[in-house]
Chains A and B, each alone.
Chain A
Amino acid sequence: DVKVTQSSRYLVKRTGEKVFLECVQDMDHENMFWYRQDPGLGLRLIYFSYDVKMKEKGDIPEGYSVSREKKERFSLILESASTNQTSMYLCASSPLSSPLHFGNGTRLTVT
């Protein structure tokens, strides 16, 4: 069974802090994704990666960056956290054009 693990379930950070969200998958999938999910706005793609060191912007990349140094790990970075980045963050992985497998999410609160 595919396992996607997000490092934290709940996180509380202060405005202006640098925040790292980590995601690890154990199925050697090429693709990894970061989404955020907000009430009334659904799931929105922040960034995705199709290979080590490769990344592409999703629909809402502003205020975020990503890092993929190893195939199994995809990190989302909030350079300077702001209150409007309070959200549920979901990492996912997949082989090419196959369904996504999600981690169980990180609920981030920025105060």
Chain B
Amino acid sequence: RKEVEQDPGPFNVPEGATVAFNCTYSNSASQSFFWYRQDCRKEPKLLMSVYSSGNEDGRFTAQLNRASQYISLLIRDSKLSDSATYLCVVNMRNTNAGKSTFGDGTTLTVKP
């Protein structure tokens, strides 16, 4: 079983739709959580951190459920420019450095 699992999609949605991605992690010692966005043939870029109380950044809402070991990303009012791959990232802190484990990503295509 992978440490971090995501539904690969693809998710194909019309503009204006609301779409949600889930991500599960297996290690209960995981400490910090992030969503990254990766455009085709580009590097991943941080979209938002995920806090225990949930957090929102414009049209994007992230939530964390430690008991069930999953995080989610909700995108409201989808735009064409939201088309990308969304990567779930889980950090564990070992004795020397934080180690990030990436999900394989969920591909979103927003269509006119």
Contacts and interface: CB of A to CB of B under 8 A. Distances in A.
Contacts of B100: 33, 45, 100
Nearest to A42: B104
Q: Which of B31, B49, B102 has the most CB of A within 10 A?
A: B102
Interface string A89-111: 01000101111111111000000
A60 to B, nearest CB: 13
Given A42-B103, A42-B104, A43-B87, A96 B43 contact: no
Interface residues of A, number: 28
A54 B96 contact: yes
Contacts of A103: 43
Interface string B27-63: 0000110100000001111100100000000000000
Nearest to A101: B46
A50 interface: yes
B104 A41 contact: yes
Contacts of A56: 96-97
A97 B31 contact: yes
Interface in A44-58: 45, 48-51, 54, 56, 58
B97 A96 contact: yes
Nearest to B4: A42
A94 B87 contact: no
Contacts of B44: 43, 90, 100, 102
Interface of A: 30-31, 33, 35, 40-43, 45, 48-51, 54, 56, 58, 90, 94, 96-105
List the 3 closest A-B pairs by CB distance, nearest first: A50-B97, A97-B98, A42-B104
Interface of B: 31-32, 34, 42-46, 49, 87, 89, 91, 93, 96-105
